[in-house]
Amino acid sequence: MPSFAEVKAGLAMPLSDAMETQRSIRRLRSDPVDDETVRACLELAIKAPTGGNLQNWEFVVVRDPDVKHQLARLNRQAWSVMRRIYRTQVRNDEKGLRGLAAGQWLADHFEETPVVVVACLRGPRAWFPPVVVTSYYGSIFPAVQNLLLAARALGLGAALTTLPVWSSWMARRTLGLPWNVSPIAAVPLGWPQGRYGPTIRRPVDEVTHLDRYGKPFGG
Ligand SMILES: Cc1cc2nc3c(=O)[nH]c(=O)nc-3n(C[C@H](O)[C@H](O)[C@H](O)COP(=O)(O)O)c2cc1C
């Protein structure tokens, strides 16, 4: 199990390399991850912006087997529904099927994850109008992405997940969160069984428009 001192040089990795190779790593080894390493990820996570600079994030670092077991149960409940939907979507797509297998692996091994970081938001949950809702959720995902990039640079495996907190009520009870703190995402962290590698995404020109929707951005 590498210590923080052994992996911290990874944080000097070029940003574009980290971004190009950060992908969901769900197959994790059960070897422990020290607090210093988790703290380094969180220090970088909270460099992210929040709406109105409220910094209304809260993080729960879960190591307790009972708490992990409860989150694993929630993940399995949601996964048993979502995997059926994903299966119809991916059909014969090889990459999609690999993702499905990785999701199943996480569902089967969630309890073995050494650390799960649950990212939460403090304050009343936003329902309406849309700009309030987007600002609310938009105040946690930049921090989660920073955390994922920090994990990647340190060589830690990580994935952004929401299924383990599909029921705010049950996740709040599991984590002992006060009523005004909502769990939004969970990031299982651990040393990866596999490797990071380049992500495959749709081309920029396919998803970008110039001035108005439909006018090509590229050339
Ligand atoms: C909002 C959001 C929620 C997600 N929830 C889950 C989840 O609950 N479980 C999971 O295994 N992956 C989850 N993912 C990860 C995506 O499935 C993954 O990022 C996507 O398939 C692309 O794969 P890659 O990250 O390996 O490139 C989520 C991603 C996002 C952005």
How far is residue 189's CA from residue 171's CA, in Å, rounded to a whole number?
18
Q: What percent of the chain has pLDDT over 90?
A: 91
Q: With respect to residue 7, please indicate whether it lies within any of the assigned structural domains.
A: no
* Domain interval for residue 150: 12-207
CA–CA separation, 75 vs 71, rounded Å? 6
Cβ-proximal residues to 62 (8 Å cutoff; 6+ apart), any chain: 68, 71, 115, 116, 117, 118, 175
Q: Is residue 29 part of a domain?
A: yes
Whether the per-residue pLDDT at 118 is higher than 90: the answer is yes
Pair 161, 188: CB distance under 8 Å: yes
Question: In ligand 1, which atom is closest to the CA atom of 25?
Answer: 26
Q: What CATH number has the domain bearing residue 75?
A: 3.40.109.10
The number of the ligand 1 atom at minimal distance from the alpha carbon of 162 is: 8
**214 in a structural domain:** no
The verdict on residue 217 lying in a domain is: no
Assess whether pLDDT exceeds 70 at residue 78.
yes
Average model confidence (pLDDT) for the chain? 96
pLDDT tens profile 46-74: 999 999 999 999 999 999 999 999 999 99
Q: Indicate whether 4 belongs to any domain.
A: no
Question: Ligand 1 pocket: which residues have CB below 6 Å?
Answer: 23-24, 26, 99, 103, 106, 159-163, 199
Q: Is the pLDDT of residue 95 over 90?
A: no
Domains in the chain, number: 1
Q: What is the pLDDT of residue 219?
A: 66
pTM (two decimals): 0.97
